[in-house]
Structure 1
Amino acid sequence: MDSFAAAFKQSQRVVDDAFDVSASANAHLYFCFGAHRLRLGVLDTERNKFVALEDYESSRPVSVDGAISYLESLTATSPILQQKAWKAVRIAIKSQQFTLLPATLFDVNAREEYLQLNAELDTSTEIVHDYAHPRLELINVFTVPTKLQAWAEGHFQTSELEFVHQTSSLMEGFLHVAERNTRPQLYVYVDKNYVTLVVLHESRLEFCNSFYFSSQEDFIYYILFVLQEKKMNPDQDNIYVWGELLVHSELFDVLRKYIRHVQFGKKPTGVGYSYRFDALFEHRNFDMYSLHFCE
């Protein structure tokens, strides 16, 4: 195992009293994979309700191979991963290896060429995938680590398996919660050292990108840059925020310093949640919950 994989620790676990993990054949497993974080969520399809969540975070930088090694070790300890037969398994990949294309221009045989315009592609360690967004009329082209795909296909042999990019999950989730508005709306998802910014205007995508930041200055710069580019007003327009951001944090303070109307988002509606999820912050885990809408 990569020595960095030891940095992972379970940070959260919630389980509904009535959840029977052995009934996985009637449940969906939603899984967010990133080099610094692994998150598992279970949706009971008969009740259309989230019934379990396991969250694992690293305390220091970890390689993708290290995260995969830790994931493999979890199959011995995680009750969720010990189950291999699910009705469906959907895995979201957190990375900057993605590009968006109009559906009318997409050619599946040119996926690698599309991706190489925005990312450095290593076909020896990555496999190219695509995911269609019919309502947005676009295709998300992205990569999946070869080792992760091999593990998933081997572990969930009898389950329907699908990979999507984290931005696809977020876009579908934001579409689900968006209210029709004559003004563009900026949706912000904050992760560890990454911020994903999505602008929707009347159910049309006007912007989507994920940025790495190492300081408060970088963080607010990207947000103000997108506001300026989309001709939005930081003193008038509402900004909605999800993800790993706390009210009493330096990042939230800098947001409030430059943007007047900042609101924390909530869990998406249209799906239920065990009362055990009431103990979690409403604005966290949005990317995982929104995998439910990536049909």
Structure 2
Amino acid sequence: MIKVKQLQKKTKKTSAIAHYKDLSIQFSLDGFSFCISNSENKAPLLFTKYAFPASITSPELLLEEIIRIFNTDKDLQQDFSSVFAIHQNNLATLVPNKLFDRNNLAPYLKYTVKTLKTDFITYDLHNIIAANTVYIPYVNINNYLFQNFGEFEYKHHSTVLIDKLLSYSQENSEQQFFVHVSPNDIDVVVCKEGKLIFYNSFSYSSKEDFIYYILFTAEQLQMDPNNFQLTFIGDIEKESELYIITYTYVRNIHFMNPIDNFFADSDDFSNHSNFILIA
């Protein structure tokens, strides 16, 4: 069981005050983040990230950790106008509308995810593309959030990521190659002028795994590593071994420059680090 004192907590906040606040939270087996924003103008007021010292091994233990955080973090112990939860896991797949049957979701996951008959499977409708994310949410955490806040909205992290990136890149005529980095997984999104060319997620345990999946994707899409531009988002910095090995093979790399510069003056967070919750 993880002790609270072992958690690494980082916070960024403004001095702005809002009478009505929205709460957005994102959780995975690697950590827990939340953003409190102004309900009226959607400006972020506070962002906090808890990084677990090691990946949690089950949704049950993850719920224990989240309960502990909610019981000790006073910023979470207030009333909110709305609550939005983001489930980050690799228990998902993307299904085009033409092949989608909302009454028969299990077959979409059976080739990529080990499922049980008792698993609750749901889906998100994408805002920009004609597709749906089919996934298994952390039901126990949803139940806990409902007990605390009542009705709330939730989505899979890939739904939010894809829709944000498509919106972000819709005016760009060049093919965009995005890599969203988490401690043990990456999401690769390739798009052009607001249209999705490719999406997949990969688990990695070494820098060699990491670069393999990037180069494999580029090869499948016939994109020359010497020419295309790769944009990093998430938990990666220029000094990291992941960046260094990528730059060995991909010549044009830069970091996401989000519209919202909430982290511009932060010592703890890079501007590209939390695109899913703040952009």
Q: How many residues align?
A: 278
Equivalent in the alignment of 2:61: 66
Equivalent in the alignment of 1:208: 199
Q: Does 1:146 align with 2:139?
A: yes
C-alpha displacement of 1:183? 4.0
What residue identity is the alignment partner of 2:60? Answer: D
For the residues of structure 2 that align with 1:79 and 1:212, how far apart are their CA atoms? 34
For the residues of structure 2 that align with 1:98 and 1:78, how far apart are their CA atoms? 30
User: Which of the residues 98, 101, 123 maps onto 2:92?
Assistant: 98
Equivalent in the alignment of 2:272: 283
> What TM-score, normalized to structure 2?
0.92
For 2:103, what is the secondary structure of its paired residue?
helix
Could you tell me which runs of 5 or more consecutive residues in structure 1 were left unpaired when the two chains were aligned.
Answer: 291-295
Greater Cα shift, 100-109 or 46-55: 100-109
Equivalent in the alignment of 1:120: 114
Contact 2:263 2:269 in 1 (8 A): no
CA deviations over 1:221-245 (Å, ceiling 9, x no partner): 0000001111111101111001111
Q: Indicate the RMSD between aligned Cα atoms, in angstroms.
A: 2.1
Equivalent in the alignment of 2:211: 220
For the residues of structure 2 that align with 1:146 and 1:103, how far apart are their CA atoms? 25
The percent identity for this pair of structures is 23
Q: How does 1:129-278 map to 2 (within 5 A)?
A: 129-157=122-150, 160-267=151-258, 269=259, 273=262
Contact 2:4 2:68 in 1 (8 A): no
Equivalent in the alignment of 2:47: 53
For the residues of structure 2 that align with 1:7 and 1:103, how far apart are their CA atoms? 46
Q: 1:276 to 1:252 in 2, by over 3 A?
A: closer
Contact 1:187 1:241 in 2 (8 A): yes
C-alpha displacement of 1:7? 7.4
Contact 2:263 2:271 in 1 (8 A): no
What residue identity is the alignment partner of 1:74? Answer: I
What residue identity is the alignment partner of 2:197? Answer: E
C-alpha displacement of 1:176? 2.5
For the residues of structure 2 that align with 1:185 and 1:276, how far apart are their CA atoms? 27
CA deviations over 1:153-191 (Å, ceiling 9, x no partner): 11111xx41111111111122112215444421100111
For the residues of structure 1 that align with 2:266 and 2:226, how far apart are their CA atoms? 34
CA deviations over 1:46-69 (Å, ceiling 9, x no partner): 232011011101112312322210
C-alpha displacement of 1:116? 2.1
Equivalent in the alignment of 1:76: 71
Contact 1:36 1:67 in 2 (8 A): no
For the residues of structure 2 that align with 1:19 and 1:90, how far apart are their CA atoms? 20
For 1:289, what is the secondary structure of its paired residue?
coil
Contact 1:7 1:60 in 2 (8 A): no
What residue identity is the alignment partner of 2:275? Answer: F
Greater Cα shift, 273-282 or 70-79: 273-282
4+ long deviations beyond 4 Å: 5-8, 274-279
Q: 1:276 to 1:181 in 2, by over 3 A?
A: closer
Could you tell me which runs of 5 or more consecutive residues in structure 2 were left unpaired when the two chains were aligned.
Answer: none
For 2:152, what is the secondary structure of its paired residue?
strand
Equivalent in the alignment of 1:293: none
Contact 1:27 1:88 in 2 (8 A): yes
For the residues of structure 2 that align with 1:109 and 1:140, how far apart are their CA atoms? 14
For the residues of structure 2 that align with 1:14 and 1:184, how far apart are their CA atoms? 33
What residue identity is the alignment partner of 2:274? Answer: N
For the residues of structure 2 that align with 1:280 and 1:192, how far apart are their CA atoms? 15
Greater Cα shift, 223-232 or 277-286: 277-286
Equivalent in the alignment of 1:11: 9
For the residues of structure 2 that align with 1:30 and 1:105, how far apart are their CA atoms? 31
For the residues of structure 2 that align with 1:214 and 1:275, how far apart are their CA atoms? 30
Higher-RCO chain (CA-CA 8 Å, sequence separation at least 6): 1
Contact 1:16 1:275 in 2 (8 A): no
C-alpha displacement of 1:5? 5.5
Contact 1:50 1:272 in 2 (8 A): no
